[in-house]
Every structure is written in structure tokens, then in C-alpha cells.
Amino acid sequence: MEKYSDIIEEIKNLQPVKPPEGLVDQVMARIESIDQSAGVQIRHFLFPKTISPSAADTFSGRITSYEQCAFLLIMVGFFYLVTGIITLWGFHNVIREENINLWLRIQPYITIANGLFLTCAAFLILYRPQATSFVQSALIAHAALILVNAYILQSIITLQFALVYVLIITLLAIVFAVLLIGSIRSVLRYGTTY
């Protein structure tokens, strides 16, 4: 850095800019207007309003906030939940058949558990950003479990068309998992704990 000492000195000598008069008052007036009543706190906890302002950015460019990351996790989790519930509802008679392999019968429950896991991960990131690295590890384990599940299923299923279906679903789940892990890596890299 020695050879840049002149430039460094000049940068350090740049005149500081004076903030506008009344900035403190403006901030405090806005803070006073923030409603922190118990009802509002509960509503924010259940439906965090922080998700909405940056949610639109989630689909364009780099993920830079924990809110965007949580939003993605909630969306994918919701998809799994809906898929699991629909499967459970649509195949409830088939699922009761005891001559069908147990691992096949519990697939809708595994899907629902996946959805719940991702939703919990979203709320964990939102309210305990310090746990984001842990969520990342959990998602990697989750991706590995998807592959294990696919491996078990292919050894059970004999129908060709069902195997293709399992392959497609597994690929989709892996793509989701990779995207989510990517978004967490991005937020750990470019976002910050707060």
C-alpha cells in the first residue's frame, strides 16, 4: 500500500458532508409512529412484513437479504406442503392398502415433512439469522436424503413409468435444494446477519 500513500492521504482529506438539519427529529418522528403494540408484534411474527419489500428482488439478480432467502424457502416449503396434502388426499385409499410397500405409503408424509422443514428453516433465518450456516448444512443433508429416498424408491418400484416419474420428481427436488443452498450461500456472502 506504500505506493498509494498519496492517494490514501487525499481520500482521507476529502471533506466530510454535513447531514441535513433535523435528521434526528425526522428519524425519531418516524420511530414514534411505528406501532409496537402486542397485536402488531404477533401479526409481524406470523406474517413478517419485512418479506414484502425485497421479495420482488428475489427473482432478479443476487440474493442479498435474509428476507429474500426466507421468502424462497417459504415458497418451496409451501409447494411441498400442498403437493403432500394433495397426494395424501388423492391417494388416501391406496395408502391404507397394507400390501403396498410401507416406504411408498409414507411418501406423502415425507413430502409434508419436507414442507414443514423448509418453512421452519425460513422462520429460523428470518428470526435467528445467526443460524443461517446451520440451515445451510441442514439443507445439504436434506438434498442427500432426497437422493437416498430416490435410491430406495427405485429398488421398490418395478413399473417403468413410475420410475420415470420418481426420476423427474427427484430431479425437481434436487434443483430446488441446489437453488435454496445457492441463495443461502449468496446471502452469507453478500448479505449480512442483520
Partner 1 sequence: MDQKTEAEIIVRVMGGDRQAYALLVDEYKGPIFNLAYRMTGSREDADDLTQETFIRAFQKLHQFQPDKKFFTWLYTIGINLIRNHLKKNIRDVSHHAAADYALEHQARGNGTGQGDGPVDDRMIGLERIIQQLPVDLREAIILKYTQDLTFEEVADVTGDSLSAVKMRIYRGLEKIKEMLGNNL
- Nearer Cβ to partner 1, position 14 or 148? 14
In the block, which residue shows the cell 410401507? 102
Closest distance to partner 1 from the beta carbon of 77 (Å): 22
Question: Does residue 43 touch partner 1 according to CB under 8 A?
Answer: no
Closest distance to partner 1 from the beta carbon of 147 (Å): 31
- Residue 5 contacts by C-beta under 8 Å, 6 or more apart in sequence? none
3-state secondary structure of 60: coil
- Residue 154 contacts by C-beta under 8 Å, 6 or more apart in sequence? 163, 166
Question: Does residue 42 touch partner 1 according to CB under 8 A?
Answer: no
Stretch that binds partner 1, among 5-13, 84-92, 103-111, 151-159 (CB under 8 A): 5-13
Residue 13: phi and psi, rounded to 5, are -85, 0
**Do 69 and 184 form a contact (C-beta atoms < 8 A)?**
yes
Interface residues with partner 1 (CB under 8 A) are 1, 4, 7-8, 10-20, 23-24, 26-28, 30-32, 34, 50, 54, 57, 61, 64-65, 129-130, 188-194
